[in-house]
Amino acid sequence: MSAIQYEKNADGIVILTMDSPNQSANTMNADFQKALTETVEKFKADSGVTGVIFRSAKKTFFAGGDLDDLIQARPEDAKEFMAIVELMKKELRYIETLGVPVVAALNGTALGGGWEIALGCHARIALNDPKSKFGLPEVTLGLLPGGGGIVRMVRLLGLQNAFPFLMEGKQFGVDKAKSLGLIHDTADSIDELMEKSIAWIKSNPKSQQPFDVKGYKIPGGDPKTPAVAQILAIAPAMLRDKTKGCYPAPEAIMAAAVEGAQVDVDTALTIESRYFTYLATGQVAKNMIGTFWHGLNAIKAGASRPKDVAKWQATKVGVLGAGMMGAGIAYSTASKGIAVVLKDVSVENAEKGKAYSQKLLDKKVSQGRMTAEKRDQILSLITATADAADLKGCDLIIEAVFENQELKAKVTQEAEAFLADGGVFASNTSTLPITGLAKASKDDKNFIGLHFFSPVDKMPLVEIIKGQNTSAETLAKAYDYVQQIGKTPIVVNDSRGFFTSRVFGTFVNEGLRLLAEGVHPARIEMAALKAGMPVGPLAIQDEVALTLSEHVTNETRKALQAEGKDLPHSPAEDVLKTMIHEFGRKGKAAGSGFYDYPEGGKKHLWDGLSHWKKDVDISEQEMIDRILFVQSLDTLRCYEENVLESVVDANIGSIFGIGFAPWTGGAIQFLNQYGLEKALLRANTLEAKYGERFKAPQLLKDKVANGKID
């Protein structure tokens, strides 16, 4: 069966029904490309065509490019790759310029290549479905819209208005598309959608694209227009400041848009194809597609979930501790329609935790993103209490109290008495081993770690930690709950600091070590940003609180010494000790840390950091390598030690949990894309210069011949 069915009605209108065989969604794969070529041949042989309608036989209109194909494209394939892209665009352009009206009947979501097909039509009529999404999200995968999306969006909206949709990948619904003039009409049923599409063709027999009409001007002006030229003079510098040079896609999009706006449509389409080929055959797109598409989809499909356990849903969740973490967990849970009991030592404290949800929901109401009725409904699901008996019937209880083993044991035993039969007890610890905490439980097979990240309402990841005796059923239920509240689960085995806290510590400590070595703090922060980290190590240490890091280090050392081991002393510890005990600077919450936080002003690095200033000669690239390698090598150690069980969890967890540079595709993919042989040599050099933390794990040496860690 062809991916495009060609059917002409009695009025001479050709209905092209897109239906990719053996797929739940239409994509621009080889089947589609072959069918498109055949369709164009049919048009060339058919002289009685009066109009064209693109429609879909799937639940959605069209999903976009075939990422399985795209990830295979190599630099040496560039010529052939571009020829395929250009052919497909020429064929779509042929239909667009047939001289008859062309309509897209959008029965659902059209993203990427799907939206580009729609843009190639003279009119777009959409089913009135609030779930439908339109747009060009390619930039989020390191690509650009290569099927004419840049050329047509710029010509329809103007450069300035098109940029957010192109360079940020902003998606939009039916109403927004109508207000932008990108959707021309809506229908309430599939039948009405087709009726309106046919009626539009009959009413506009001589239709063509507005930008194909002679004398058409791009809204807002082309790049030579003074107002646009003024913006474009500073736009590349502003973009570079944002991307720090790590992401080639937004820069390529800007270049293709501006260059394309100065030439005719067909030349602009070729310019777009060249930039698309450059990105698609490059490494950054492969890193990002591998992790943000294939990796996330694997996790969504339950890659690390026990397969033989039935799906489960939490119905009533207890949260112990109404501080920042507990309040955030309560909000995230209630927002998904699940009843929550938020318990603290006093009703006042619990109410304060519930007020956090009220604040977030009030903000949504004031922005018009939620009704007052929906807000009240969510708030009614949260019971603030100081009475443990209110936990009765909870099928999941999450402990989110201070990082102290004795306190956690006490609240576990008090709350567990009210847990429903077969219920799960979870700890939101970020560092304490789960097996040790589970000793306080009456049944350690039902005990698990659920490590949320702060702020919970914004951070998408939850690290699930299996204790030594955690059952497969408990793990499956924890995984299902994390997905139930719309977050991304990764699964790790028990150890001190698990995966994310442990590796996050290496990043912060490397920044503190650089400071101790005498490097200017502004250079340290900038090197981290240029590596692709979202914030510098000194800024993030302030957020975490210097006192908390000191406490965790002391507790870790005590615990290791009790096991007959020790934690080697680090120059990073000396920096923290001096900051806290000599300078009285404890972090952002305390009002001062590595940064000053003037009231009403912008934070800035504290002048007193000159205390560590020395004459040191280190290049920016050396610092970038130290920041990325110290994290990726420790991530690989976690995988080698079976703390991590999969590369997917390692890559997703490193990006969403600790902010590891997204352009790399994650901490292990960073080594893969660097080239394992080169990475081993670099690690050896760094170890010789800076010490054992850069020692290459045996697994890296073993995988060099294979060329990939998987």
pLDDT category of residue 403 using cuts at 50, 70 and 90: confident
> Computed from CA positions of residues 235, 236, 237, 239, in that sequence, does the dihedral angle turn out positive or negative?
positive
In the prediction, which pLDDT does 555 show? 83
State how far the Cα of 356 lies from the Cα of 231, in Å rounded to an integer.
40
Distances in Å between the Cα of 518 and the Cα atoms of 525, 542, 577, 617 are 14, 19, 17, 9
Task: State how far Cα 677 lies from the chain centre.
Answer: 29
Q: How many CB atoms lie within 10 A of CB 450?
A: 24
pLDDT for the residue numbered 354? 97
Task: Write the pLDDT tens digit of every residue in 306-321.
Answer: 999 999 999 999 999 9
Nearest to 163 by CA among 246, 220, 244, 122: 220
Report pTM: 0.93
Instruction: Tell me where in the chain the CATH 1.10.1040.50 domain(s) lie.
Output: 501-642+646-706
Nearest residue to 353 via CA among 331, 370, 371: 331
The number of angstroms, rounded, from the C-alpha of 220 to the middle of its chain's C-alpha atoms is: 33
Nearest Cα neighbor of 452 from 410, 423, 481, 413 is 481
Cβ count within 10 A of residue 229: 12
**79, 535, 595, 673, 700 from 665: Cα distances, Å:** 26, 18, 30, 9, 18
State pLDDT tens for residues 380-398: 999 999 999 999 999 999 9
Find the mean pLDDT for residues 583-601. 95
- 363 confidence band (pLDDT: 50, 70, 90): very high
Say if residue 430's pLDDT is above 90.
Answer: no
Question: What's the pLDDT at 556?
Answer: 85
For the segment 451-463, the average pLDDT, to the nearest whole number, is 95
Helix 226-243, helix 248-260: angle, nearest 10: 170
Q: What is the pLDDT at residue 484?
A: 98
pLDDT at 558 over 90: no
Q: Which residues contact 28 (CB under 8 A, 6 or more apart)?
A: 64, 65, 66, 88, 113, 147
Task: Write the CATH number of the domain with boundaries 4-281.
Answer: 3.90.226.10
Q: Which single residue is written with the structure tokens 């009726």?
A: 195
pLDDT at 522: 98
CA distance 321 to 397: 11
d(Cα 676, Cα 299) in Å, to the nearest integer? 25
Cα gap 381→361, rounded to integer Å:
13
CATH 3.90.226.10 range(s) for the chain read: 4-281
Question: Shortest CA distance to 654 belongs to which of 527, 465, 487, 500?
Answer: 500
Q: How confident is the model at residue 280 (pLDDT cuts 50, 70, 90)?
A: very high
Residues 6+ apart with CB under 8 A from 576: 512, 546, 549, 550, 553
- 488, containing H or E segment: strand 488-493
pLDDT value of residue 432: 87
Q: Where in the chain is the domain with CATH 3.40.50.720?
A: 316-496
Spell out the long-range contacts of 229-234 with Cβ–Cβ below 8 A and sequence spacing 24 or more.
Answer: 231/159, 231/160, 232/159, 232/258
What's the pLDDT at 524? 98
Instruction: With CA atoms as reference, report the closest residue to 7 among 67, 40, 52, 41.
Output: 52
pLDDT of residue 329: 98
Provide the token pair at 108. 């659902």
**Which pLDDT does position 179 carry in this prediction?**
97
For tokens 């500073």, the residue is: 234
pLDDT above 90: residue 527? yes
SS3 209: coil
Q: If 0-12 CB within 10 Å is exposed, 13-18 middle and 19+ buried, where does residue 110 land?
A: buried
For residue 206, what is the DSSP state?
T
Token reading at 259: 């260059």
> Which pairing describes strands 461-466 and 447-452: parallel, antiparallel, or unpaired?
antiparallel
Element (H, E) at 110: strand 110-111
Structure token digits, residue 658: 């600790």
Strand partners, 424: 396
pLDDT at residue 686, as a whole number? 98
CB 305 within 8 A of CB 408: no
Share of the chain above pLDDT 70, in %: 100
CA separation for the pair 642, 670 (Å, rounded): 19
Question: Cα(300)–Cα(448) distance, rounded to whole angstroms?
Answer: 20
Distance of CA 264 to CAs 224, 269, 276, 506, Å? 15, 9, 18, 52
| pLDDT number for residue 402 | 87
Q: Does CATH place domain 501-642+646-706 in 3.10.450.50? A: no
Q: Are 209 and 149 in contact (CB under 8 A)?
A: no
**Strand, coil or helix: what is 317?**
strand
Residue whose tokens read 């429609």: 55
pLDDT at 563: 87
**Which amino acid is it at 21?**
P
Question: Is 2.50.20.10 the CATH number for 316-496?
Answer: no
Q: Cα–Cα–Cα angle for 612, 526, 610, nearest 5°?
A: 15
Confirm if 433 and 496 have CB atoms less than 8 A apart: yes
pLDDT of residue 560: 86
pLDDT in tens, 466-476: 999 999 999 99
Distance CA 193, CA 189 (A): 6
Model pLDDT for residues 621-678, shown as the tens digit of each residue: 999 999 999 999 999 999 999 999 999 999 999 999 999 999 999 999 999 999 999 9
3-state secondary structure of 477: helix
Q: How far apart are CA 508 and CA 563, in angstroms?
A: 26
- Across the range 216-224, mean pLDDT stands at 96
The answer to whether 642 touches 678, Cβ cutoff 8 Å, is no
HSE-up (13 A, CA, CB side) for residue 343: 21
- Output the pLDDT for position 431: 82
CB atoms within 10 A of CB 520: 17
Q: Considering the chain, what is the average pLDDT of its residues? A: 96
Alpha carbons 3 and 13: distance in angstroms, whole number: 19
The candidate with the shortest Cα–Cα distance to 563, out of 433, 377, 684, 467, is 433
Alpha carbon distance 200, 185 (integer Å): 10
Asked if the model's pLDDT at residue 497 lies above 90, the reply is: no
Closest listed residue to residue 432, CA positions, set 280, 551, 595: 551
| Interacting residues of 24 by C-beta distance below 8 A, sequence separation 6+ | 58, 59
* β-bridge pairing 102-106 and 110-111: unpaired
